[in-house]
Structure 1
Amino acid sequence: MQREIKKRVYVYGFAAVLLAILLGSLCYNLEVNLQFGKPNQPTPPIETSPQQPLTALKTFSSYDELRSFLANTSIVPGEFLFFGPLDYKVLGVYPLGPEVRTANIEYSTTNVQVAGVDEADIVKTDGEYIYVVSGNNVSILKAYPTEEAGLVSKIVYNDMCPVGIFVSQSHDRLAVLGCEYFIPKFYYGYYYVNIKTRIDLYDVSNKTNPVFLKNFTISGSYFNSRMIGDYVYFVVSQPAYIIYDTVILPKIYTKEGIKEINATEIYYHNVTEDYYLYTTIVAFNIQNATEEATYKTIMLGETSCMYVSLNNVYITFRETYENTTIYRIRIENNTITPEAVGSVLGHPLNQFSMDEYNSYFRIATTAWVNGVPQNNLYMLDMNLSIIGKLENFAPVGEIMDSARFIGNRCYLSTSTPRKDPFFVIDVENATDPKILGNLSITGFTRYLHPYDENHIIGLGVDGSNVKISVYDVSNVTAPKNITEYKIDGYWSDTLALTEHEAFLFDKAKELLVIPVTVYYQDYSSWYGVYVFKINLEEGLVLRGNVTHQENNTYYFITRALYIENVLYTISEREIKMNDIETLELKNKIELS
């Protein structure tokens, strides 16, 4: 069997064993009672209105106050296992991408939620070079023009697992985010996992010779990040607990030694939780290497979602009894200021369930009340006090599948068996959100993306197959599904359902590209990208596909981008360059 399949088998086998050990240890140490289906006891109803503003965040006055707080309010005061999103991938224990012009060269950028707020990804381009995270390497490749394409340099990591990269607007700085892992050890009755998050900064003015400038390392698991202007803001979480009467504090690692973040620097909100995490927001200037990184640490429950506007970071975590607590942290260059905390009923699905617009924060949630799901939409002011809401608006039993806020509209889909109601909600009046119209379609929609102000692209699943739809919302009281395309096979899947960065769309080029996996009844399979022509007159038309599958090797294409009229598809093995119209192969570069 070829190399990639063997590699996956070994990794997944190790992952299954490690997961069983870790979950067993976690359940034993935390006395977790795993339940499947509905809870044994109904969730008590929660009164959400009228809501009073929550007490502002404050810091601990001393180390002793922090220790007393953990001892008296944390249900699990001792050490416990915690893994961030990247850790599950590595350890195995588990807005828009607009067109950019540079020197008259058109190229696509990362598909992001908020214009001006970049998101870390495994692939970036500046219109001439492509920067790729492949395994534990970061490669820089000459990409355009295609006849000059080739690998120009490679940064090899032996002590860090890269999770994502940023390239400065000036194209002369490269920031690499990742985690350092130390193998779990059984230590005094616990599995001890030492995880650090690190950002490395390089001068890439000379692409053939990246020069290391500096780094910043902090204890804890990487959670998420954004870049605004010259500043990367990244979030790290680690457990807060007491061992032998000693509070374990977050640490910063420098060439001079180890610095603990002082208890008096840690913000908190006076509530009781099952357990606490130190969540640290770091501001890191990637253009000025002499500027020291700044940070703020908040002690809260487990972080679940993050939304970032041009001025604020919103971090959510799940409370007991189905509430979600929201923290607003104001950001301006290297200044980080925790300013507000609030709470809503239910949990957001992902970052697209949240949005800031005209100094209001909007959030869509699903809650389980007395064992029954209900869907809600809340409007909050900058103090994170609820000023408007739409609760339990979908029929009984439906669960939110996707949401997207665009201007004064919220587009939201919920699901029942074999049907997916699509809602158009007016949020222009923050005190009185209203449903304008809805449409029932087959299957479910997992990702929503604006085509223009009157049309929305929906990506989801119908039966066992990926389906792409375009909704006309020009008549908000009667939205219509005007075109759709279903990727046939015994069953099909796309990475874009869970990673929006894998979704490439450009209205001007009439281009839509998604990575696709198709499985057939004869046990054969196909991996590649589907390339569509998309417009309102012709609908969705398949131009063709591109695959990196050849000679019985299976490499998944994870990202696609374009530079001028060339489509670039990227897998761990190679980058292929195809004509964007005809899909004729123009060149390719081996990565491994």
Structure 2
Amino acid sequence: MKAKLLIALTGAAALAAAGCTSHEPDADLGVDIVPWVPASAQLASYGGCDEALEGIQDAALGMMAEWQATAPVFVDAEGLAREEGDMAAADDGGAAPTSGQSSDSHSQTNNAVAGVDEPDIAKTDGTFVYSVVGQTLRVVDTRTGEVAAESRFDDMSWDHRLFLGDGELIAMYTQDVDDDGDYRSEFRVERRDPATLEVLDTFAMEGRMVDARMVGGEVRLAVSSQPSIQPVHDVLYDADADFEDLKAAVAATGLDDWIPEFSVNGEAGEIDCGDIAHPDRFSGTAVTVFGLAAGGGWEGVSPHTVMADGETVHGTVDSLYLAHYDYGWGEEDPEGETEIYRFHFEGGEPRLAGEATAPGSLLNQYSLSEYDGHLRVATTENDQMWGWWGGCGPAADCAWEAAPEPEESKSTVTVFAVGEDALTETGSVTDLGVTEQIYAVRFIGPTGYVVTFRQTDPLYTVDLSDPSDPVVTGELKITGYSGYLHPVGEDRLLGVGQEATEDGVTTGLQVSLFDTAAPEAAVLDQYFREDADSAVEWDPHAFLYWQDASIAVLPVTDWDEDYMHSRVGAVVLAIGTDSVEQAAWIEQDVDDPYAEGIVRSLVIGDQVWTLSAAGLQANELGGGYERTAWIEF
């Protein structure tokens, strides 16, 4: 009987199930397996299109062979093996943020790095509010309280986000496309007239956006794409196919099946084979990095493709960092690291300008920060790799095979010198939060702040003034944790997260004001809201800090004992030198108690505007925060 193919081409997603163990391959597959090794981020470019196709095919087969040799077997209570294939077929950082006062007296997106704009669902120029909630893009004139223009996206589109340039509105989203019965994802960028929302230019590429940044009128993007190899997938899940069938299916693919296609205003473009880079070991997925001028003229775009996954993007004024978590499953313990690629932008074109690795995985883009010629990276080891080795599920009856005990988790801050074409490690400090994982990171100048949590919340202060010798100078332990950190003045840091019991059970929203003047941070004051949480924990764009009024605005959901929405709104917090207290509670008139609440807050002049799927509301800034306008959607 032919061996079943148990390969998940795109990685470890299919492992997200019950306890598992590996088995030996059923036969010699006759293909080279490239082993996982630490520090494997070094990239090389292909010498031509023929070499690129052969290299990609060989690498993909090597990964498939590795998974054939180590694919998990799931064991039920009867001791019967159910192979995974059957189951699958069944179903700068140191700079001040820019969300405070601006020269035009209106707020901006809460960006991680000053001068580097991030895409969001709401933008304003101080007169108009541009927003996309649900499938609808709207322009609201805040002077008249009227919707000045409106445009609806296709129902099969998702992940809509916006950039606002100098007289240009850039809309980005992913569209699910029906291609002769097979659905695929296509990432689209539209340059629109901000007054009428008329589409002026369109860029389209296979895949989905990882993230984007806009600097000086230039939009820099990273797009992830899967290979278009349905015949290979058909063989993968054919119970009667063997590895020779798979090799034949892969050999029948062409380069255009692996490299994403793109077009500008309907005219097809082409990625130069010399602009395709690859590490030693990859599965066939790709990330493409490129730039588009906010003012149009996209015909000369030159995308650069890396044959790797990409999960996290961090942008600076002249660079775009792309990070990917890679792992290897040994016979006893899994290993993993974060691979980091730096792209330097000049004249609208990206150039690969350095690679590095750091132990473990990133939390988010705030785990990366470039300052004074160095890149600082905060990671957690041995937590994410094991986090999804959960139970078999409520309906399953499983018996566990013996699995190795993972090493204790720990976190590390690693520093790299940023050279013209290289990232070179200069120093690191480790063993932060042993047995815990990172919940929040913020780098401010030569200092890093790292929150880890399991039962209590150590806020570590890391002195990074000497890049060759990072030093932990403080470890403040309090109950609960902060999921987002934001500077709110000199030597003041605001943490948004959850209070918790001594056993680590969360009890409600907690906002903490820290004094960071000393080597170890100290708590000055805290705001607590029982049985509540804020989207700021996982979505920093939902956070607004308005420096002129010394206020922070957070969307909040109160929960009842059955964890149903009981109250949604936004809390306005007055941030003093040593105090944080509620200044106002803002609610919108929403008939549906289960509807999503406020998702964004903006300041325009002397008004606080709040955005939800139901509409846009204005409240006076200060005083009683009385409502002054309501625009229903």
Give the aligned partner of residue 510 of structure 2.
Answer: 467
Contact 2:210 2:312 in 1 (8 A): no
Please give the TM-score of this superposition, normalised by the length of structure 2. Answer: 0.77
Structure-2 residue corresponding to 1:18: none
8 Å CA contact 2:133, 2:613 repeated in 1: yes
Aligned to 1:182: 177
Percent of aligned positions with the same letter in both sequences?
Answer: 22
Distance 1:573 1:360, change over 3 A: same
In 1, the alpha carbon distance for the partners of 2:18 and 2:175 equals 34
Question: Which of 197, 219, 229 is the aligned partner of 2:187?
Answer: 197
Q: Secondary structure at the match of 1:487?
A: strand
Conserved? CA contact 2:219–2:293, under 8 Å: yes
Separation (CA, whole Å) in 1 of partners of 2:616 and 2:200:
28
User: 1:54/1:31 Cα in 2 relative to 1: closer, same or farther (>3 Å)?
Assistant: closer
CA distance change for structure 1 residues 255 and 124 in 2, over 3 Å: closer, same or farther? closer
Distance 1:267 1:495, change over 3 A: same
Deviations 1:480-533 (A, max 9, x none): 111001112xx2221111110000112321111100110123766001111111
Q: Which residue of 2 aligns with 1:574?
A: 615
Q: Displacement of 1:570 after TM fit?
A: 0.4
CA spacing shift, 1:555–1:73, aligned 2, 3 Å: closer
**Structure 2: gaps of 5 or more residues:** 1-5, 24-35, 68-96, 233-248, 328-334, 384-405, 500-505
d(CA) in 2 for partners of 1:266 and 1:183?
28
Contact 1:162-1:176 at 8 Å conserved across structures:
no
Q: Given that residues 264 and 299 in structure 2 are in contact (C-alpha distance below 8 angstroms), is that contact kept between their aligned partners in structure 1?
A: no
Partner of 2:292: 284
Q: Residue 26 of structure 1: CA displacement? A: 5.7
1:258 aligns with 2:268: yes
Question: Residue 156 of structure 1: CA displacement?
Answer: 2.4
Cα RMSD of the aligned pairs, angstroms, is 2.8
Q: Secondary structure at the match of 1:390?
A: strand
CA shift for structure 1 position 184: 9.2
Q: CA deviation at 1:305?
A: 1.1
User: Which SS does the other structure have where 2:488 is aligned?
Assistant: strand
CA distance in 2, matches of 1:457, 1:293: 44
Distance change >3 Å, CA 526–CA 580, structure 1 → 2: same
8 A contact 1:27–1:33 mirrored in 2 = no
Cα 1:27–1:521, aligned 2, differ >3 Å: closer, same or farther? farther
Query: What is the rounded CA distance, in whole Å, between the counterparts of 2:179 and 2:495 in structure 1?
Result: 41
Query: 1-side partners of 2:510 and 2:20: how far apart?
Result: 30
Matched residue, 1:493: 533
Aligned twin of 2:244: none
Aligned pair count reads 520
Which residue is equivalent to 1:300?
307
Give the Cα separation in 2 of the matches to 1:335 and 1:427. 32
Partners of 1:333 and 1:149 lie apart in 2 by 40
Aligned 8 A contact 1:301 1:319 in 2 = no
Change in Cα spacing, 1:63 to 1:336, as seen in structure 2 (3 Å) is same
2:201 alignment counterpart: 214
Deviations 1:215-269 (A, max 9, x none): 1111111110110011111111112476432131210124554344343331223
| Amino acid of the structure 2 residue aligned with 1:177 | M
Q: Which has the higher contact order (CA 8 A, sep 6+)?
A: 2
Find out whether 1:414 has 2:404 as its counterpart.
no
Report the structure, 1 or 2, having the larger strand content. Answer: 1
1:398 to 426, 436, 457: 436
Cα distance in 2 for partners of 1:368, 1:552 equals: 43
Q: Are positions 1:352 and 2:369 aligned together?
A: no
- Residues 338-371 of structure 1: per-residue CA shift (max 9 Å, x gap): 1111111111110000000111111000011953
Matches within 5 A, 1:122-161: 122-144=121-143, 148-158=144-154, 160-161=157-158
Q: Specify the SS of the correspondent of 1:430.
A: coil
Q: Distance in 2 between matches of 1:479 and 1:262?
A: 51
Q: Residue 59 of structure 1: CA displacement?
A: 2.2
For residue 65 of structure 1, the aligned residue among 47, 51, 55 is 51
Tell whether the 8 Å contact from 1:301 to 1:318 is kept in structure 2 after alignment: no
> Does residue 1:446 correspond to 2:453, yes or no?
no
**Structure 1 residue 126: deviation in Å?**
0.5
Pairing partner for 1:505 from 520, 533, 545: 545
**Cα deviations by residue, 1:43-78 (Å, 9 ceiling, x for unpaired):** xxx998xx8x975x4321223322322233234469
Q: Does 1:100 align with 2:114?
A: no
Structure 2 residue corresponding to 1:387, chosen from 426, 432, 450: 426
Match of 1:167 among 164, 169, 172: 164
Q: 1:246 to 1:587 in 2, by over 3 A?
A: same
CA distance in 1, matches of 2:218, 2:199: 18
1:34 aligned partner: 16
Q: Verify the 8 A CA contact 1:549 1:555 in the aligned structure 2.
A: no
Matched residue, 1:115? 114
Cα distance in 2 for residues equivalent to 1:39 and 1:513: 48
- Aligned pair in 2 of structure 1 residues 293, 219: CA closer, same or farther (>3 Å)? farther
Distance 1:585 1:454, change over 3 A: same
Q: Distance in 2 between matches of 1:323 and 1:31?
A: 17
| TM-score of the superposed pair, with normalisation by structure 1 | 0.82
